Amino acid sequence: MDESYIVRSPEADWSEMADLPVELARSRRVQGTVFEKHILSKGTLLHPKTGAKIVIDDTFVDRMKENFRAGLCDLVQVPLANDKNEHVENPAANIGEVVGLHTRGDKVYAAIDVRDPAAVQKMGKTYLGASAFLSTNYTDSRTGTKSGPCLLHVAVTNRPYVVGLDDYRELPDFKIAATAADNTGEVVVLTAAPEETVPLSKEELLAALKNEHGLDVEALQASAAAPPAPDTAALTASVVQALRDSGYVSLSADPGTVSLGDVTAAVVELAGANKGLRSEVDELKLTAATTEVEGYIDAGRLLPKTRDVAISMALSNRDGLDAILAPANAPYVKLAHQKGVGGPDGEQRHEHDIDAEVARLAAEHSQFFSPNGTRQ
Q: Count CB neighbours of 11 within 10 A.
A: 5
Q: Is residue 18 part of a domain?
A: yes
pLDDT score for 14: 33
Q: Count CB neighbours of 32 within 10 A.
A: 20
Where in the sequence is the domain holding 276, given as residue range(s)? 233-332
* 163 and 87 both lie in a single domain: yes
Q: Is residue 63 part of a domain?
A: yes
Q: Count CB neighbours of 160 within 10 A.
A: 21
* 28 and 159 both lie in a single domain: yes
* 121 and 42 both lie in a single domain: yes
Which residues are 188's β-sheet partners?
134
* 129 and 11 both lie in a single domain: yes
* 132 and 247 both lie in a single domain: no
* 123 and 250 both lie in a single domain: no
pLDDT score for 214: 73
* 239 and 298 both lie in a single domain: yes
Q: Is residue 115 part of a domain?
A: yes
* 350 and 251 both lie in a single domain: no
Rounded CA-CA distance 270/232 in Å is 20
pLDDT score for 201: 77
Q: Is residue 199 part of a domain?
A: no
pLDDT score for 97: 94
* 363 and 301 both lie in a single domain: no
Total tally of structural domains belonging to the chain = 3
Q: Is residue 154 part of a domain?
A: yes
* 134 and 277 both lie in a single domain: no
Closest CA to 22 of 98, 99, 77: 99
How would DSSP label each residue in 47-115?
-TTT--EEEE-HHHHHHHHHHHHTTSSS--EEEBP-TTS-----GGGEEEEEEEEEEETTEEEEEEEE-
Q: Is residue 211 part of a domain?
A: no
Q: Is residue 213 part of a domain?
A: no
Q: What is the pLDDT along the chain (376 residues), one digit of tens a residue?
A: 344 333 333 333 333 344 444 444 555 667 899 999 999 999 998 888 888 888 999 999 999 999 999 999 989 999 999 999 999 999 999 999 999 999 999 999 999 999 999 999 999 999 999 999 999 999 999 999 999 999 999 999 999 988 999 999 998 876 443 333 344 445 555 554 455 556 777 787 778 777 777 778 788 778 777 766 666 667 666 776 776 666 655 555 555 555 666 666 666 676 766 777 778 888 888 998 899 989 888 888 889 988 998 899 988 888 988 888 888 888 887 765 444 444 444 444 444 566 676 677 777 767 666 665 555 5
* 40 and 179 both lie in a single domain: yes
* 354 and 289 both lie in a single domain: no
